[in-house]
Structure 1
Amino acid sequence: MNSPQNVAGSPTPVSRLLASVAKCTVVCVLLLQTIGCGRQPETTDGLQAISVQLNWYPEVEHGGVYQSVVDGTYRSLDLQVAIEPGGRATPIAPELEMGRSQFAITNADDVVLFRAQGADVVAVAAAVQNHPRCILVRADSGVMEWSDLAGMTLQRQAGRAFLDFLEQRGHLNDVRQVPYHGSITGMLTDPKVAVQAYSVAEPLIAQQQGLEVMTLMVSDLGWNPYSSVLVTTGDMIRDQPEVVRAMVKGTVDGWRQYLQSPDEANAAILQANQHGMTAEALQFGAEQMRPLAMPNGDLDEVGQMTSERWTELVQQMSELGLVDLEKVQPSDCFTTAFLQL
């Protein structure tokens, strides 16, 4: 039925009211879908549909998640897991807060920053105990230790917390900092160029380019946030604890299997990564990942977190002026409640 109109053809007050109500209803529905209604995972064929947002392009840092997808571990726990690749500026916290993904992979220092910004993001498992962050230098650069970096040019991604840590400790004094564009190309022609890197990836890339390199591990200086951390929201923990428990178990089991036999998952990662990844690089990365995930050679270390490590990290970030201790409590950043596997 057409809306009633006056003799001039203009909508009556009643019709304008009805149109306004209809418009508001549509807007409200869209808002709810955006900020809240997407939080609850759907059920498909008896399986709980879950989305996991990666913090970077698919690489070995996500090996455990791919492992549990390809070998059916998640499905055995009644989960249907979809992996969402990340990139250079993946909005992890918004993806979780708006419910487009129920879980994500990130680093522990990012969790602290998310919470400082008001996002209720919580770590539920940490796959990698020692962070792979390093500074990569050529063997012929003359750099043997951190104090030798003076006079070098460092290609880095501005705004990363580890840079604040290095600057606070004086390790970047007299170091020229320039943007990092995701490549070690600058090192090929200039021995005085260093790049930020992960020890599980860039050293092999450099070797393939004919460069002899060495790594300065940032963790050796005391900056060592957990990495490859599985996170979710406080809402998921409160409203869907059994889903969280299943996801934690599946992810930790996947990592333990991946660290022993990564070939199947690496094949899936290679298929998903269209940014120059190679099978050789993934094999190298998986080998380098083992001592980082299992510093004592024990598979039971995988996934574990301690209050001491989180407290130290939050304190360090407070000293760097990155967070306010009155707003971010270490105990709010993580929970081990789902690690009793």
Structure 2
Amino acid sequence: MENVKWKTRGVLASVLAMGLLLSACGSERATETESEAADTSGGTEDVKLVLNWFPKSQHGGVYSALEEGTFEENGLNVEVEPGGPQVSPVQIVAAGDAQFGLAHADQMLIARNQGIELVAVAATMQGSPQAFMYHKGEDIQDFEDLNGREVFVQPGITYWDFLKNKYDLSKVTELGYNGQHVNFIDNKTSVTQSFVTSEPFFMEQEKVPVETMLVSESGYDPYNVVLFVTKDYLESHKEIVQKFVSSYIKGWQSYEQSSDEINKVIVGENPNIALEALNFETKTQHEYIYGKDAAEHGIGYMTEERWDTLKQQLLEIGLLKEDFKTSEMFTTEFLPAHE
């Protein structure tokens, strides 16, 4: 009888131990499930953004969103890769080495012509600040007044092909633009490509009085610094795209008031540019980012009419070989509603 009691106790102990083990395992699985749920809902997604140039004021919204934690609040851990003359955001994003990029609208259309399907999700600049800069007092009223002059221009730059197709510029002496202005400064009748948001400031520092003529006066006025993704990424990661665009726009909204502090951050990322130059750029780019169509419709706004106009211009000069619907190349669905 004593043996039976001990056997019964042994069985009960075994059952109790097994129950405790199962309970512990169940508790562990529950903890793992809760942890997985926490990772899904509260974790961060790693993404990379490739800039169209070295950090400047035209990227102020990006650095504002980083500095103020806006990306992080939306569950994104954003790595920023600087651009430069040897960096192609289009190629990097197309290859899948980054999720987001910045480029000009004409670059995106040409990429589409090459079979690279990109989608614009926000246009930072509502127009192009690209211009020709010349010495003050030179009689330049129109683009045909460039004839008889040396013009420093980057070979293959799209707007120059457009201008040569629209105007008779056969008497222009083209010289390669290399980002330096020594030869321009020495030659008082010469003209150089520029951005009104930067080069005039550098000339002011050199005490060289200059004037500018915007390329947009010719009718060629693409969106600049356009935020884009690939079509495939957009279709499979809409939630992430929404979070990124919302953070990006909020960053630009904040930058309008906090540019003094954010520009100091940008200098830290790009010590080759002076704070004064960034402040000049911030001031001169304001109308392009916050004005024009953005004043009525909000930062990042785009229209099919503008994209169609640009596409037609590129078709006319032979930089696009096939026609296509520009509605496939941009969307405003991720931009905040603007009243």
**TM over 0.5: same fold?**
yes
1:291 to 287, 291, 298: 287
Is residue 54–residue 86 contact of structure 1 (8 Å, CA) maintained in 2? yes
My pick for the range that moved more, 286-295 or 252-261, is 252-261
The alignment's TM-score, normalised by the length of structure 2, stands at 0.83
How far apart are the structure 1 equivalents of 2:86 and 2:47? Answer: 22
Tell me the equivalent position of 2:251.
Answer: 254
How far apart are the structure 2 equivalents of 1:277 and 1:83? Answer: 18
- Select the structure of larger CA radius of gyration: 2
1:227 to 224, 240, 243: 224
Shift of 1:253: 1.4
Tell me the equivalent position of 2:273.
Answer: 277
The alignment's TM-score, normalised by the length of structure 1, stands at 0.83
Counterpart AA for 2:156: G
Alignment of structure 1 residues 1-341 onto 2, 5 Å: 46-170=43-167, 172-274=169-271, 276-296=272-292, 298=295, 300-326=297-323, 328-341=324-337
Runs of 5+ in structure 1 lacking a partner? 1-41
Is residue 90–residue 103 contact of structure 2 (8 Å, CA) maintained in 1? no
How far apart are the structure 2 equivalents of 1:306 and 1:299? Answer: 13
Q: Deviations over 1:260-309 (max 9, x none)?
A: 331222112211124x3100000000000111123348274310000110
Is residue 149–residue 175 contact of structure 1 (8 Å, CA) maintained in 2? yes
Is residue 143–residue 167 contact of structure 2 (8 Å, CA) maintained in 1? no
How far apart are the structure 1 equivalents of 2:222 and 2:228? Answer: 14
User: Which secondary structure state, in structure 2, belongs to the residue aligned with residue 141 of structure 1?
Assistant: coil
RMSD: 2.0
User: Which secondary structure state, in structure 2, belongs to the residue aligned with residue 323 of structure 1?
Assistant: coil
Q: Deviations over 1:152-199 (max 9, x none)?
A: 111111111101111112163311111111122222211122111111
Q: What is the aligned length?
A: 298
Counterpart AA for 1:268: V
User: Which secondary structure state, in structure 2, belongs to the residue aligned with residue 130 of structure 1?
Assistant: coil
Shift of 1:259: 2.7
